[in-house]
């Protein structure tokens, strides 16, 4: 390195997709004044779309928009493919074709990366190209680069995230309004905060994709998505939210990846609604905001907070990836950058959910009978489940409502105790079982 | 870029200083298993200290520790100088000497960077070396790299930070315990959260150094530290904390850098205690934790939270800088990396505090006289100060206590009104004037 004048190299982009995110990226690139000067050197060379007929919120010179996606990813003029079309196919095939042509990739496609990241990274490493994925998790929040670079010297112990804006909005509304899940979901759909088919969000699948990507980076191994335990928020009731509040908690859909023994041999990766103590940094993350708490050694607790979705936020992440890629390429490196290349290591050992050690909250409806508490205690005691608190909170339709919070217990032992409790004549039902932070 | 096998290059460090942070860095480097594999290639070659006689918490091979700091920074074997000795001199001269010898710099020295960053960056750019400064602000929180890289495509509108752990600890304790400043300070000194001379922390000077560094990165211009308005927390009373709580605020020492008109022409850079609405993301940052809220376009609000000090946290930042530097050097770049090099642009125009437009909280002690409110209103009205709320809260030693919160007003107009109010016969005193977020 001898001088700091940088040769101007025009970098040409091929953008796949001109939906919300693609439009945001084009708008950002077309409005470069007052941003990093390097942006001005980036050219939108081709934009691939499904239909030319659709009205677009951005205007592009004639000939740039095309429906011939195969030609686009093979175009020898293009340096970087920006994939913001979503879904598995044709995105997967197009990305592999682009990589085989020596093109670098910027993608926001969490569903694709969580399922086929390994195939994509293998191909990219073979071709000597980068795959940038900041926008795949947490929208505009910088989290991928911090994990790969700023926190790279740490041993990561855990990641705990609110990484789905739709469910966080729904839970926040249920908390503040005292409303039912289904009622809030309908409102959220009307306001555009939830899809007409809300499955991916409310059943935790979107969060599972994202925590699989983050866990893979934090623990240096592939994550088999089918091993990620996933429980959504459909069963969360205003009753449980109210009891949680009384006990000093809020209910959040958390995505957690945790090195069980701090030796990277057993990783627990899971998505489930969780009781979070009101004093915990994640307890105050409300509405559509996302946050990811990283615990590492020696750094301690670091949290990243921001908008988890939206055109502008996601465009910020996608375009920053483009800029970082351009900046790296402009150094004319003779070797790939060891912190930016994709790591493609063996699979992590994922702890089955039954082996998880955590605290639990459970709500029981029972006959209002003085012997019930003792019988509950006996069933828990047999399985070695130690109770932190037992509260008989009230009478609900002539049934007593009993809330239990356990100390840390292995999940399978707790479930065995619940199975026995369900057979007790005095127990009417167990309407809810939730995990409790910190475990 | 053709293959991904990276040649092993031993990188040799010269570390200046073996205090808390230096010891943390050495410990981290000596315990590389389970961290990024590249760390194993970094060699601690020399450590410069003031006295060889002092007992050290780390053991280093004989001959590594030296008091000859000049020879250390001139040692031709050394690639990177890690400056963790603090203070201006001899750190400044040693860094300039090292740069002149072509060595890259990693530093945690906020006082030096905020005063002489320009000289250091000019020398570094001339010599073609990097100066890495992640640890200078926010301890272990990644904030420098996010500003320089992850958020680089955004137009930054404002940075609002709690970036001094000592004052945040003191204010949090005053809030929760209802205690006096001086009493909490004494406790904090005993617990090691405050220095025996607490001036740099409690008068806001440390936060001013840090916000000057952040503002310079966010707004792409040098900041003249003497133009940074700085007000500490010595005058904060339990009375004001209690009133703030009643009105829905908490009092925090904020460091703020704001593009006044979103055109980068007028930047306001300041440190002062501030009433923060309880729902604001910074309101829940308590104890010794730090957080920096970045507002940019198009990303929106992004916040970075974590431990603002401590051996482990700061060592994480310093060592990550070393690792990122090593990773960049290992690509054998022909050109410097445009996002990592130091920018050394013209000075930013800093808005004088009198020109600041913000909201104010003021507390008046007056005779308990029905005409006082009217007179206050007249004085404010003359200066165009519009009031959001006026509350007569109570009687205090036979005087009425009146709290006023204004709408946005130019500070000089508000001060002019206060000057006139002070001359009113009915006004006994104005014990406190504080700014209010959001402005």
Q: Is A62 among the domain residues?
A: yes
Q: What is the DSSP string of B13-67?
A: EEEE--SHHHHHHHHHHT--TTS-GGGGGEEEEEEE-S-SSS--SS---TT-EES
pLDDT of A396 above 90: no
* pLDDT of A1 above 50: no
Note whether A280 and A320 are same-domain residues: no
Residue A309 · residue B315 · CB < 8 Å:
no
Tokens 């609604």 correspond to what residue?
A: A273
Mean pLDDT, residues B216-235: 96
Residue A3 pLDDT exceeds 80: no
Residue B123 within any structural domain of the chain: yes
Provide the pLDDT for residue B394.
78
Per-residue pLDDT, averaged over B115-129, amounts to 96
Asked whether residue A291 falls in the same domain as residue A380, the answer is: no
Q: Are residues B161 and B109 in the same domain?
A: no
In-domain check, residue B344: no
A150 half-sphere exposure, CB direction, 13 A CA radius = 30
Residue B1, domain member (yes or no): no
Whether residue A120 has pLDDT greater than 70: yes
Task: State the best of A58, A153, A329 to mutate against chain B, taking most chain B CBs within 10 Å.
Answer: A153
Inter-chain residue contact A152 with B299, CB threshold 8 Å: no
Residues B69 and B167 in one domain: no
**Judgement on whether residues A294 and A324 belong to the same structural domain of the protein:** no
Mean pLDDT estimate for chain A = 93
Residue A4 banded pLDDT, cuts 50, 70, 90: very low
Partners of B28 on chain A (C-beta within 8 Å) are 153, 298
CATH for B363: 3.30.70.260
B146 to A142: CB separation less than 8 angstroms, yes or no:
yes
Q: Are residues A266 and A154 in the same domain?
A: yes
Chain B CB contacts of A310 under 8 Å are: 300
Instruction: Select from B152, B299, B334 the Cβ nearest to the Cβ of A306.
Output: B299
Whether the per-residue pLDDT at B157 is higher than 80: the answer is yes
Residue A348 lies in a domain: no
Please say if the pLDDT value at position B385 is more than 50: yes
Task: Supply φ then ψ for residue B217, to 5 degrees.
Answer: -70, -40
Mean pLDDT calculated for residue range B416-420: 97
Kindly state the average pLDDT of the residues B73-90: 97
Q: Do B38 and A333 touch (CB under 8 A)?
A: no
Q: Is the pLDDT of residue B1 over 80?
A: no
B26 lies in some domain: yes
* Residue B134 and residue B167 share a domain: no
pLDDT digits (tens, 9 = 90+) for B358-370: 999 999 999 988 8
Euclidean distance between CA atoms B335 and A330, whole angstroms: 7
Closest chain B residue by Cα to residue A27: B298
Least confident of A22-31, A82-91, A185-194, A388-397: A388-397
Cα–Cα distance measured from residue B216 to residue B346, given in angstroms and rounded to the nearest whole number = 10
Instruction: Report the alpha-carbon angle A243-A247-A252, nearest 5.
Output: 70
Phi, psi (degrees; rounded to nearest 5) at B295 = -115, 125
From the list A316, A328, A332, the residue facing B334 with the nearest CB is A332
* Secondary structure element (H or E) that encloses residue B122, with its range: helix B110-127
**Cα–Cα distance for residue pair B95/B99, rounded to 1 Å:** 6
Give the active site residue among B210, B252, B258, B382: B210
Instruction: Say how many C-beta atoms besides its own lie within 10 A of residue A89's C-beta.
Output: 8
Q: How far is A315 from chain B (nearest CA, A)?
A: 8
Closest CA in chain A for residue B138: A302
Pair B100, B160 in one domain: no
Q: Do A146 and B151 touch (CB under 8 A)?
A: no
> Looking at residue B110, which CATH number applies to its domain?
3.40.50.720
pLDDT band at B9 (very low <50, low <70, confident <90, very high): low
Distance between CA atoms of A42 and A13, rounded to whole angstroms? 7
B310 to A300: CB separation less than 8 angstroms, yes or no: yes
Q: Among B6, B297, B335, whose Cβ lies nearest the Cβ of A335?
A: B6
Which of B132, B153, B297, B336 to mutate: most A Cβ within 10 Å?
B153
CB-CB under 8 Å, B307 with A2: no
Distance of CA A312 to the CA centre of its chain: 18
CA–CA gap between residue A44 and residue A29 (Å, rounded): 8
Q: How far apart are the first and last CA of chain B?
A: 50
Report the alpha-carbon distance of residue A427 to residue B200 in Å, rounded: 63
Is the pLDDT confidence value at A209 over 70? yes
Nearest to A313 among B2, B125, B298 (CB): B298
Interchain proximity B1–A153, CB inside 8 Å: no
Could you confirm whether B258 is annotated as catalytic? no
Does residue A157 sit in the same domain as residue A279?
A: yes
Q: Residue B38 in contact with residue B327, Cβ under 8 Å? A: yes
How many domains are there within chain B? 3
Nearest residue on chain B to A140, alpha-carbon basis: B299
Predicted confidence (pLDDT) per residue in A273-322, tens digit: 999 999 999 999 999 999 999 999 999 999 999 999 899 999 999 999 99
pLDDT band at A48 (very low <50, low <70, confident <90, very high): very high
Contact A28 B153 (CB under 8 A): yes
Cα A407 from Cα B281, distance rounded (Å): 31
Mean pLDDT, residues A358-386: 93
**CATH number of the domain encompassing residue A226:** 3.30.360.10
Range in A79-88, A226-235, B341-350, B398-407 with the lowest mean pLDDT? B341-350
Please indicate, yes or no, whether residues A119 and A186 belong to a single structural domain of this protein.
Answer: no
Contact A150 B129 (CB under 8 A): no
- pLDDT bucket at B407, cuts 50 / 70 / 90: very high
Residue B397 has pLDDT above 50, yes or no: yes
Closest by Cβ to B313, choosing from A27, A298, A307: A298
Predicted local confidence at residue A414, as pLDDT? 98
ipTM (interface predicted TM): 0.94
If asked whether residues B269 and B323 sit together in one domain, one would say no
Q: Which secondary-structure segment (H or E) carries B214?
A: helix B205-219
Residue A47 lies in a domain: yes
Residue A217 has which token pair? 């980076």
Residue A259 confidence (pLDDT): 93
If asked whether residues B61 and B76 sit together in one domain, one would say: yes
CB A273 within 8 A of CB A262: no
Share of chain B above pLDDT 70, in %: 98
Query: Which of these is catalytic: A210, A252, A330, A375?
Result: A210
* Percent of chain A residues past pLDDT 70, beyond the cut: 98
Which domain, by its residues, includes A45? 11-139+312-329
User: Does residue B240 fall inside a structural domain?
Assistant: yes
CA distances from A392 to A103, A402, A418, B422 (A): 63, 4, 17, 59
Q: What is the DSSP string of A204-265?
A: SHHHHHHHHHHHHHHHTSB--GGGSEE--STT--HHHHHHHHHTTEEEEEEEEEEETTSSSS
Q: Is the pLDDT of residue B262 over 90?
A: no
Nearest residue in chain A measured CA to CA from B103: A1
């Amino acid at each position: 390195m001898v001088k700091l004048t940088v040769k101007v190299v025009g970098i040409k982009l091929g953008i796949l997709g001109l939906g919300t995110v693609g439009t945001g990226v084009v708008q950002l690139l077309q409005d470069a004044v007052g941003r990093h000067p390097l942006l001005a050197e980036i050219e939108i060379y081709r934009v691939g779309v499904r239909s030319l007929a659709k009205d677009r919120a951005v205007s592009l010179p004639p000939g740039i928009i095309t429906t011939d996606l195969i030609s686009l990813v093979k175009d020898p003029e293009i340096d970087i493919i920006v994939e913001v079309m979503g879904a598995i196919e044709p995105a997967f095939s197009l990305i592999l074709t682009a990589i085989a042509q020596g093109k670098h990739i910027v993608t926001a496609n969490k569903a694709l990366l969580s399922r086929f990241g390994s195939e994509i990274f293998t191909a990219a490493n073979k071709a000597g190209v980068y795959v940038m994925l900041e926008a795949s998790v947490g929208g505009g929040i910088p989290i991928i680069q911090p994990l790969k670079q700023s926190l790279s010297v740490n041993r990561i112990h855990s990641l705990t995230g609110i990484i789905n804006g739709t469910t966080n909005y729904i839970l926040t509304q249920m908390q503040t309004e005292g409303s039912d899940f289904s009622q809030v979901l309908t409102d959220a759909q009307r306001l555009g905060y939830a899809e007409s088919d809300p499955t991916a969000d409310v059943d935790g699948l979107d969060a599972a994709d994202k925590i699989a990507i983050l866990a893979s980076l934090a623990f240096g191994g592939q994550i088999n998505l089918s091993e990620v335990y996933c429980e959504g928020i459909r069963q969360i009731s205003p009753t449980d939210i109210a009891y949680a509040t009384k006990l000093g908690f809020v209910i959040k859909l958390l995505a957690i990846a945790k090195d069980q023994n701090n030796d990277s041999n057993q990783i627990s990766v899971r998505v489930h609604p969780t009781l979070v103590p009101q004093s915990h940094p994640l307890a105050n993350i409300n509405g559509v905001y996302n946050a990811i708490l990283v615990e590492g050694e020696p750094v301690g607790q670091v949290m990243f907070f921001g908008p988890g979705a939206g055109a502008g936020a996601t465009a910020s992440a996608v375009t920053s990836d483009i800029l970082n890629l351009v900046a790296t390429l402009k150094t004319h490196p003779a070797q790939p950058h060891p912190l930016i290349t994709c790591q493609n290591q063996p699979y992590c050992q994922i702890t089955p959910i039954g082996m998880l050690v955590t605290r639990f909250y459970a709500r029981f409806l029972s006959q209002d009978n003085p012997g019930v508490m003792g019988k509950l205690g006996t069933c828990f005691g047999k399985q070695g489940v130690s109770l932190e608190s037992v509260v008989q909170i009230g009478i609900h339709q002539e049934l007593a409502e009993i809330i239990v919070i356990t100390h840390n217990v292995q999940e399978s032992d707790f479930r065995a105790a619940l199975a026995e409790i369900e057979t007790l004549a005095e127990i009417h039902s167990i309407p809810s079982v939730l995990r409790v932070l910190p475990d």
